[in-house]
């Protein structure tokens, strides 16, 4: 807000230090929490310590830091917008005129609008990989977690200034996929239902049936056993044919794969998500085998095939670790087939070499923690500098109050069902109170609220914690929910609508109410919150902020009259403040992939 003034002051500090041969370290400013005035502060401890290290000290560091702060302070003089300057305990504190600070925060928001909070261009490319269910069955509620966490993170990174690529990597091959294919071909060919979601769900049903069929049962008769084994042989034969590129199997596989992808695309578009790059597990299978050769030649991997074993990498040993941490990884089975890990090595190479990715983020559940630790370490041994900027955003389960899910058992809660149910419930309430919502808009707004509730209930929980999804709680207008935040946006909008127009400018020189102060304070923290969420790869930071902001706005709304104010000057200032709050709530919600309706 005070960049120009800050720069001018920094220039004075630098000039002074240069003249006096003080080895000034980089000036880092941090905000001073409001206590009657807003301000920023920097310290001179580092500078004093550098001086001492250079043998030019003589005084204890804290004492010298304070001395520098005082000397620098005397150089600053009067600066417009700055109320006063302090040198305390080695810190230099600049305080802003409250009215000026408030005006600038609001003006900047209303000038930048949807761009308020956008970070400076970072000249770094990041790829966020998420929304990657395995194909050949349906999208369940657990997949919503990778999808929403990934999308929110991608939005945050992009807004923070990173060149951002959104990628997905569906698992489209493996024994599970082949099992479905086999059962479909054998028992159901030609019976597939129509409809984007029906087909996925139907494949899931086949999967559960086939798994049950192939599992050894208790008290199995010899005939049952023989039948089961014959089925298993057939299925493995089908995998072999797939591997050999058999046209029939490949066509069948591609056709059914497309069903799942259609469903996935439908859900993504419902959530307003556009994936830039699609990778498929099947496509990195061949390249991964070549990588095994490369890693062998480079002496990173060890070949135990001559003794009938696999190809392995002794990660701990290669890193010189004596304690077991990353263990030994198999990268090629003795039968010559590659593994999930091997494919990830091939995929990473494509990301680095072909897409020139500097940072690579994987939004995948916690069961793959060790997998990614191993993958990143192997990439490091292999010599990719980007390995240091690979990050696994791990997350826990989503369960429903009724219990855990299992795709193999056909016991899953489908995302589409939960989303439809959420929207249906909102619609029922809406029609009850109907009120401000035009008839034709109801469905659209119900979808915004229902999906917003779902998204927020996922993003507002620490990624490492499990979520027990409770529909009633998520849809509530009170508490930590999406609708509670959306409702703050709606209230701000209703004030502005009644007012007609937002004044072009206003001054904040009248004493501010504590609710106004709190609101301005939070609004001014939005850019810093974007940066923090991006630095920590944590959408939760933004989710918590959005709730705090809504909370403060609701309190302001109840306590501070805006349209009822007699003083036109105060009214103008408050109207602009409300417009600014509405904008920042919308910006924060956007980063959470939640819509901000004007009415609800």
Span near ligand ARG by CB under 6 A; candidates 97-105, 128-136, 185-193, 445-453: 128-136
In 271-409, alpha helices (H) = 285-297, 315-319, 340-353, 369-382
Q: What are the contacts of 201-204 at 24+ separation with CB within 8 A?
A: 201/138, 201/414, 203/136, 203/137, 203/138, 203/256, 203/259, 203/260, 204/137, 204/138, 204/407, 204/410, 204/412
Span near ligand ARG by CB under 6 A; candidates 63-71, 130-138, 156-164, 581-589: 130-138
Please state, in angstroms and rounded to a whole number, the distance separating the CA atoms of residues 282 and 274.
22
Q: Cβ 132 to ligand ARG, closest distance in Å? A: 4
Nearer to ligand ARG, 95 or 130 (CB): 130
Nearer to ligand ARG, 348 or 485 (CB): 348
Q: How many residues does the chain have?
A: 600
Please state, in angstroms and rounded to a whole number, the distance separating the CA atoms of residues 172 and 256.
10
Q: Cβ 593 to ligand ARG, closest distance in Å? A: 20
Q: Cβ 172 to ligand ARG, closest distance in Å? A: 9
**Backbone phi and psi for residue 381, each to the nearest 5 degrees, phi listed first:** -60, -35
- Residue 172 lies near ligand ARG (rule: CB under 6 A): no
The answer to whether 92 touches 74, Cβ cutoff 8 Å, is no
Q: Cβ 273 to ligand ARG, closest distance in Å? A: 16
The answer to whether 429 touches 359, Cβ cutoff 8 Å, is no
Span near ligand ARG by CB under 6 A; candidates 57-65, 163-171, 414-422, 499-507: 163-171
Distances (CA, A) of 260 to 35, 202, 257, 265, 456: 56, 11, 5, 9, 26
Say which residue the tokens 């261009």 belong to. 121
The structure tokens listed for 600 are: 């609800």
The structure tokens listed for 588 are: 């924060």
Q: Cβ 457 to ligand ARG, closest distance in Å? A: 22
Span near ligand ARG by CB under 6 A; candidates 165-173, 203-211, 396-404, 555-563: 165-173
The H or E element that residue 480 is part of is none
Nearer to ligand ARG, 362 or 469 (CB): 362
In 464-513, alpha helices (H) = 471-475, 482-499
Nearer to ligand ARG, 144 or 364 (CB): 364
Span near ligand ARG by CB under 6 A; candidates 1-9, 96-104, 169-177, 231-239: 169-177
Span near ligand ARG by CB under 6 A; candidates 117-125, 166-174, 175-183, 469-477: 166-174
Nearest residue to the partner ligand ARG, using Cβ = 171
Q: Cβ 134 to ligand ARG, closest distance in Å? A: 5
Q: Cβ 464 to ligand ARG, closest distance in Å? A: 17
Q: Cβ 369 to ligand ARG, closest distance in Å? A: 12
Applying CB under 6 A, what is the total number of residues that bind ligand ARG?
A: 11
Query: Footprint of ligand ARG on residues 267-306 (CB under 6 A)?
Result: none
Q: Report DSSP letters for 45-113, one per residue.
A: HHHHHHHHHTT---S-HHHHHHHHHHHHHHHH---TTEEEEEEETTEEEEEE-HHHHHHHHHHHHHHHG
Please state, in angstroms and rounded to a whole number, the distance separating the CA atoms of residues 175 and 198.
23
Nearer to ligand ARG, 139 or 456 (CB): 139
Nearer to ligand ARG, 61 or 131 (CB): 131
Nearer to ligand ARG, 169 or 556 (CB): 169
Nearer to ligand ARG, 169 or 184 (CB): 169
Span near ligand ARG by CB under 6 A; candidates 155-163, 167-175, 242-250, 404-412: 167-175
Nearer to ligand ARG, 263 or 516 (CB): 263
Q: Cβ 179 to ligand ARG, closest distance in Å? A: 15
Query: Footprint of ligand ARG on residues 524-583 (CB under 6 A)?
Result: none
The answer to whether 488 touches 550, Cβ cutoff 8 Å, is yes
Nearer to ligand ARG, 393 or 426 (CB): 393
Q: Cβ 242 to ligand ARG, closest distance in Å? A: 18
The structure tokens listed for 214 are: 């192939």
Please state, in angstroms and rounded to a whole number, the distance separating the CA atoms of residues 344 and 326.
16
Which residue, 585, 263, 594, is CA-closest to 447? 594
- Residue 134 lies near ligand ARG (rule: CB under 6 A): yes
Query: Footprint of ligand ARG on residues 360-389 (CB under 6 A)?
Result: 362, 364
Q: Cβ 236 to ligand ARG, closest distance in Å? A: 22
Tell how strand 82-88 and strand 91-96 pair up: antiparallel
The answer to whether 586 touches 596, Cβ cutoff 8 Å, is yes
The correct pick among 47, 66, 98, 132 for binding ligand ARG (CB under 6 A) is 132
Please state, in angstroms and rounded to a whole number, the distance separating the CA atoms of residues 129 and 149.
10
Nearer to ligand ARG, 146 or 457 (CB): 146
Q: What angle do CA 134, 140, 141 make, to 5 degrees?
A: 130
The answer to whether 529 touches 547, Cβ cutoff 8 Å, is no
Span near ligand ARG by CB under 6 A; candidates 52-60, 125-133, 323-331, 447-455: 125-133
Query: Footprint of ligand ARG on residues 305-364 (CB under 6 A)?
Result: 344, 347, 362, 364
Q: Cβ 17 to ligand ARG, closest distance in Å? A: 49
Nearer to ligand ARG, 2 or 395 (CB): 395
The H or E element that residue 571 is part of is helix 568-591
CA 454, 459, 463, 468 torsion-angle sign: negative
Nearer to ligand ARG, 90 or 170 (CB): 170
Nearer to ligand ARG, 143 or 491 (CB): 143
Nearer to ligand ARG, 102 or 292 (CB): 292
- Residue 169 lies near ligand ARG (rule: CB under 6 A): yes
Please give the residue ranges that form the binding site for ligand ARG (CB under 6 A). 129, 132-134, 169-171, 344, 347, 362, 364
């Amino acid at each position: 807000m005070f960049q120009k003034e800050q720069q001018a002051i920094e220039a004075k500090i630098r000039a002074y230090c240069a003249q006096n041969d003080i080895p000034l370290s980089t000036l880092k400013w941090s905000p001073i929490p409001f206590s009657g005035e807003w301000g920023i502060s920097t310290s001179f401890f580092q500078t004093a310590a550098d001086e001492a290290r250079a043998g030019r000290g003589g005084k204890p560091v804290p004492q010298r830091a304070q001395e520098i702060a005082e000397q620098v302070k005397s150089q600053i003089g009067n600066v417009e917008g700055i109320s006063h300057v302090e040198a305390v305990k080695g810190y230099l504190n600049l305080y802003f005129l409250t009215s000026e600070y408030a005006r600038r925060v609001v003006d900047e928001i209303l000038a930048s609008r949807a761009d308020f909070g956008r970070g400076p261009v970072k000249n770094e490319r990041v790829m966020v990989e998420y929304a990657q269910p395995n194909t050949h069955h349906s999208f369940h509620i657990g997949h919503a977690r990778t999808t929403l966490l990934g999308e929110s993170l991608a939005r945050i990174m992009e807004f923070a200034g990173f060149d951002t690529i959104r990628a997905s990597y569906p698992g489209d091959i493996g024994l599970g996929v082949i099992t479905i294919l086999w059962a479909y071909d054998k028992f159901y060919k030609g019976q597939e239902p129509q409809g984007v979601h029906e087909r996925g769900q139907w494949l899931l049903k086949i999967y559960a049936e086939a798994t049950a069929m192939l599992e050894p049962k208790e008290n199995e008769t010899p005939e049952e056993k023989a039948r089961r084994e014959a089925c298993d042989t057939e299925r493995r034969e089908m995998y072999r044919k797939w591997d050999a590129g058999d046209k029939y199997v490949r066509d069948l596989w591609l056709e059914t794969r497309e069903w799942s992808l259609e469903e996935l695309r439908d859900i993504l578009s419902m959530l307003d998500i556009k994936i830039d790059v699609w990778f498929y597990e099947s496509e990195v299978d061949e390249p991964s085998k070549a990588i095994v050769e490369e890693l062998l030649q480079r002496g990173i991997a060890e070949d135990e095939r001559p003794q009938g074993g696999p190809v392995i990498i002794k990660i701990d040993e290669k890193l010189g670790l004596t304690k077991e941490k990353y263990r030994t990884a198999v990268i090629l089975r003795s039968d010559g087939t590659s593994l999930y890990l091997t494919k990830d090595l091939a995929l990473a190479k494509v990301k680095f070499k072909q897409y020139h990715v500097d940072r690579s983020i994987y939004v995948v559940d916690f069961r793959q923690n060790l997998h990614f630790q191993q993958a990143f370490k192997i990439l490091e041994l292999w010599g990719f500098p980007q390995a240091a900027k690979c990050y696994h955003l791990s997350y826990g389960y989503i369960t429903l109050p009724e219990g855990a899910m299992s795709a193999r058992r056909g016991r899953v809660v489908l995302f589409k069902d939960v989303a439809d149910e959420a929207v249906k419930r909102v619609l029922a309430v809406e029609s009850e109170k109907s009120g401000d919502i035009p008839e034709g808009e109801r469905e659209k707004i119900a979808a915004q609220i229902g999906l917003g509730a779902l998204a927020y209930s996922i993003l507002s929980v620490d990624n490492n914690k499990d979520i027990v999804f409770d529909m009633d709680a998520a849809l509530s207008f009170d508490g930590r929910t999406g609708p509670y935040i959306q409702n703050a946006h709606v209230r701000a909008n209703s004030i502005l609508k009644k007012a007609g127009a937002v004044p072009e400018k206003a001054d904040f020189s009248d004493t501010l109410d504590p609710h106004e102060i709190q609101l301005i304070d939070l609004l001014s923290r939005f850019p810093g919150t974007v940066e923090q969420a991006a630095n920590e790869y944590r959408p939760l930071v933004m989710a918590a902020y959005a709730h705090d902001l809504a909370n403060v706005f609701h309190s302001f709304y109840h306590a501070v009259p805006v349209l009822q104010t007699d003083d036109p000057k105060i009214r103008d200032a408050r109207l602009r403040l409300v417009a600014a709050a509405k904008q920042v709530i919308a910006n924060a919600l956007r980063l959470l992939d939640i819509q901000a309706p004007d009415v609800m």
